[in-house]
Structure 1
Amino acid sequence: MTDLCVRLVPLFNTLSQENQIEIEDLVRKKIYQKGELVVDPSSDDNLIIVAYGGAKLYNLDENGHENITQILHTGDYAGEDWLFGKKNSNTYVEAIENSKICLLNRKDFLNLLEDQPMLSIKLIEQSMTKMQSMQKQIDLLSLPKIEDRLSEYLQEYAVKVGKKTFNLPLKMKDLALYLGTTPETLSRKFALLEKQGVLTRKLRKIILN
């Protein structure tokens, strides 16, 4: 059971082991290399589960620049809107490290909901949780000072991983996009926070003081 992708998704936690195995039989697993696209607008409608590794979910503005809307870590998932018929017109998912991704097809998932109606309620609950997470990013971007956005992001990530020493989950370019700034400005703000004694940085290793 420890290797089941579906066990990583809160949506399926209330199901019996037998039902989880039934769902797992519908899942397609694939290894993606860092920088490889998992999803683009031409892809099939799938629920995406990160078995291990990480990915970024983003869209492109009119100038072709990335706007990161979500960072997926081990156990995170995305794509429930596509499962229920919303068309993907401008969303991309890209591996930010070598990752194992599990894909559950829309047709298979809808058939599953007919057999497991309680999943619909669970899905709504989890969607609300994800909306709260997206609201956190909006709140971050509302902070006028970049250093405050950066500090808040690092503090929240430290809580998520349960330790104050960790490696940045994103490249500087991607983190800058997530926080609404440039890599050059972000580097200066890291230096500022280090000077203020908020953190110690050694390349991608961060130690919060």
Structure 2
Amino acid sequence: MADLCVRLVPLFNTLNEADQLEIEKLVRKKNYQKGELVMDPTGNNLVIVAYGSAKLYSLDKNGHENITQILHTGDYAGEDWLLGKNDGSIYVEATGNSKICLLNRQDFLNLLKKQPMLSIKLLEQSMTKMQTMQRQIDLLSLPKIEDRLSEYLQEYAVKVGKKTFNLPLKMKDLALYLGTTPETLSRKFALLEKQGVLTRKLRKIILN
């Protein structure tokens, strides 16, 4: 059971082992390379990150990315598509070599009919995601880029449970997430290092 995709997703934690195994039979697994597109606006799958990382982003009218969610092992995206919401600008892209599990829309809707409690669980998880998105908005409201960066790193350290970690995003993607440019972000890393807040060795970060 340890390697089942559905065991990674909090949405399915309320189900018993037999039901989880049934759902697992519906899941399609695929390996993606860093930078490979997992889902485009025509997609209709629930995307589960079994291993690796990905980003959920939208494109504005000028084609610029706006990252709305960072996905790590156990995270998922695409429930809006599954529930019928169409958005012509939403994409999911692997940010590292990743194993992704895909659950088809119709299969998912059939699950909701057979497992009503999943609908409640889905609502709870959606609220959690909204809080995460609100946190990004809060970060972007900070006037200083170094403050946004410091807050982001501190929160990520709490999430992974250690002060030494590799950045989950490329500089370009992290810059987009924090509303700045890679060049400015590099300067802010240097500033925080000079201030003794952190030590950086390429993508390895050590918070002091």
Both proteins in one fold, TM over 0.5: yes
Pairing 1:42–2:35 present: no
Alpha-carbon distance in 1 for matches of 2:124, 2:158: 22
Offset of 1:61 from its aligned partner? 1.3
- Which residue in the other structure is 2:32 paired with? 32
- Which residue in the other structure is 2:120 paired with? 121
SS at match of 2:126: helix
SS at match of 2:88: coil
Q: Please list every run of 5 or more consecutive structure 1 residues that lacks an aligned counterpart in the other structure.
A: none
- Which residue in the other structure is 2:7 paired with? 7
- Which residue in the other structure is 1:134 paired with? 133
- Which residue in the other structure is 1:160 paired with? 159
Pairing of 1:1-209 with structure 2 (within 5 A): 1-43=1-43, 45-209=44-208
Question: How high is the TM-score relative to the length of structure 1?
Answer: 0.98
Offset of 1:42 from its aligned partner? 2.4
Deviations 1:70-123 (A, max 9, x none): 110000001111111001311011000110000011100111111111110111
% identical equivalent positions: 86
Alpha-carbon distance in 2 for matches of 1:82, 1:150: 31
Question: How high is the TM-score relative to the length of structure 2?
Answer: 0.99
SS at match of 2:26: coil
153-162 vs 79-88, greater mean Cα deviation: 79-88
Alpha-carbon distance in 2 for matches of 1:187, 1:129: 31
Alignment RMSD (CA, Å): 0.6
Alpha-carbon distance in 2 for matches of 1:63, 1:87: 20
Instruction: Give 2:28's aligned amino acid.
Output: R
SS at match of 1:25: helix
Offset of 1:131 from its aligned partner? 0.7
Offset of 1:65 from its aligned partner? 1.1
Count of aligned pairs = 208
Instruction: Give 2:85's aligned amino acid.
Output: K
Alpha-carbon distance in 1 for matches of 2:126, 2:68: 15
Alpha-carbon distance in 1 for matches of 2:82, 2:60: 24
